[in-house]
Structures are given as C-alpha cells and as structure tokens.
Amino acid sequence: MKSSNFEQNLGITRLCEDILASNERIFFVSSLNKNGRAIESKFRNDRIIKKMSKTEIEMFYMQRTLQTSLSKEFDDLVGPLNSIIVQRDTFLELIFPYSKGLMLIICDLDVIPNYLAKKILFLLRDFDWAPKKTQVYYA
C-alpha cells in the first residue's frame, strides 16, 4: 500500500523541523523536488530569503537542483554524492540529495560543516530508510 501525498508531506515537514532543530545556527531548511520547486520550508531566520524576489528564489532553488543533478551524473564513476557545501561571505549552504529531491540548508558560518553534514545525513538516512508501510504518528 502506497502512502498518501499527505503522509509524505507530513514526513517531509517533520524532517525539515528535525533538521532545523538539530543546530541553532541553521537559519533555513527547504526540501526541493527534482524540478527545483519547494515542497516545504522552515525558517529560524529568513533574512537571506527576504532579500530575494520570488523569481530570484525560484532561480536559486533551480540552480541548486541543477548543480546537484549534474554532480550526481558522476555517481557511478566516483561514488554517490552525499552533500555539497558552498561557503559564501555571509552564510554557508549545505545541499543533500535524498529520495524526494534535495534538502537545502542555509546556516551561519560558525558551524563546523563536516560535523553538521554528518548529523543531517543521519536524519536523511533515517527518513529514507523508514519502512514505507509503517504508520506515521505525530504527537
């Protein structure tokens, strides 16, 4: 039996909340589908996204999706892509492919990127490995 879109969306919402809660230095978490459209977004601080127009945000998401897709083209040759880390002068971006698309995290420069990436990878793997027939309950 396939889970409904509603159940999948609840799972993605919970995943975004868990990632946001995993580190107080994370400003923003967004789950993007394979077309670069936001499925779910959670904010602690939206100062970065507020500076962008709707068109710029869509371009930003599509660019990250394309970058991830192109990087995954080499999975068979050099191994699977776990994450992409982009450092800017003002923030750090962490990008993770997962079963529903990709997860984009924007955080403070003070984080330790590899430590945070491993923590997020565990959350994503738990989400992807959850038995599909298991009933999901939220308190």
Whole-structure pTM value: 0.85
The pLDDT assigned to 64 comes to: 96
DSSP code per residue over 55-114:
HHHHHHHHHHHHHHHHHHTTHHHH-----EEEE-SS-EEEEEEETTEEEEEEE-TTS-HH
Which pLDDT tens digit goes with each residue over 91-136?
999 999 998 899 999 999 999 999 999 999 999 999 887 544 434 4
What pLDDT score does 49 carry? 81
User: 6-50, pLDDT tens digit by residue?
Assistant: 777 889 999 999 999 999 999 999 999 999 999 999 999 877 788
